Copies of this chain bind each other. A is one copy, B any other.
Amino acid sequence: MPAGQGEFDRIARWFAPLAARLPGALGLRDDAGVLDLPAGRQLVVTTDAMVAGVHFLADADPADIAWKLLAVNLSDLAAKGADPLAYSLVTALPADLPADWLERFSAGLAAGQARWGIDLLGGDSVSTAGPVCLTISALGTVPRGRMVQRCGARPGDLVAVTGSVGDAWLGLQLLTGQAEFSVDPASGAALLSRLHRPEPRMGLISALRQFAHAAIDLSDGFAADLRHLAEVSGVRLRVSTDRVPLSPAAAAIVGQFPGLLSNLLAGGDDYEIAFSLSAEDWPALHDAAALAGVEVHVVGRVEPADPSIGAELVIEDVAGTRIVLQREGWQHY
């Protein structure tokens, strides 16, 4: 791909240090990177892109953008039970970026790399007349045949979810000034942190591989993603809103504005992991998660699909009344 000297300078200054620990990255001075896979392992590849004005506000802190770009890719690896190996990065950047944009962006990647133990392998750096457009392709590995798929949910399974749901949506309302609720400063900061600095559930990777029949990371929205899982698995998922885990801040807000709960279920950007497993494995999974510092909660169960209806997601309130959400997930079209 054609490149100008500006590209080489940028790569050497801001990206090569991120690849310094990975010999196969060749200092980002070659056309490609080269990697060994541990013996007996398969390669897992996931790719997520983010565009200014669509996935983040144009004036967002570049360090937060970088962190999130890496985090959302690692969240996909985690949901598949894959250990991270390396990642490629493509930046398409306009000429009028602030002078410190790349410095901040690179710092955000460095922070994520240090936290999650992954290094930059290579990529590309191009110009655009449009908004910032960023892509990471993350590589991971699993023991052969052990990738956790979306399609394995079985009738009788429990459905569980890590962490808490809806904080990022609440944070987005605060960020954009659309919040009808008010929160104390500490809670507000916590909600914004969930939006800006998601934490992929890397601690759960080996337990998911051991126990999960199916898994998906919650990016589109709790409801939308569980529907994906139900559809690909060909089952009915029945979940109870009163079992959906909420953070203390979110619980307080929903206590005051109960109508917001449906927004939290559809909000997206949670980067938690929803998964199904046998009921008898729940205690062992719960213990493994606790050891890893990850909270897990059962939110429902898997049932056979009604042949006349097909795969579906059924959301019920505490009284067992079915709830139909106007919107189940984040849409950008």
Contacts and interface: CB of A to CB of B under 8 A. Distances in A.
Contacts of A29: 150-151, 232
11 contacts: A1-B50, A4-B331, A24-B42, A26-B151, A30-B149, A31-B150, A34-B44, A47-B89, A51-B130, A55-B126, A124-B135
Interface in A26-72: 26, 29-37, 42-51, 53-55, 72
A80 interface: yes
Contacts of A55: 1-2, 126
Interface of A: 1-7, 24, 26, 29-37, 42-51, 53-55, 72, 76-77, 79-80, 82, 86, 88-90, 92, 95, 121-124, 126-131, 133, 135, 137, 139-140, 142, 144, 147, 149-151, 216-217, 219-221, 232, 268-269, 329-333
Contacts of A330: 2-4
A79 B79 CA distance: 35
A36 to B, nearest CB: 6
Nearest to A144: B36
Contacts of A147: 32, 34
Contacts of A50: 1, 126
A217 B150 CA distance: 39
A2 B269 contact: yes
Contacts of A220: 2-3
A111 to B, nearest CB: 20
Chain A interface SS verdict (over half): mixed
Given A1-B48, A32-B77, A49-B92, A130 B128 contact: yes
A54 B127 CA distance: 7
Nearest to A86: B45
Contact of A2 (B122, B137, B268): B268
A80 B32 CA distance: 7
B126 A49 contact: yes
Given A29-B151, A219-B1, A142 B79 contact: no
A221 to B, nearest CB: 8
Contact of A44 (B32, B53, B137): B32
Contact of A31 (B43, B46, B269): B46
Residue among A32, A35, A268 with the highest chain B CB neighbour number at 10 A: A32
B47 A133 contact: no
B36 A44 contact: no
A53 B92 CA distance: 12
A86 B50 CA distance: 23
Most buried by B among A77, A95, A131, A269: A131
Contact of A45 (B122, B135, B149, B269): B122
A30 B217 contact: no
Nearest to A269: B2
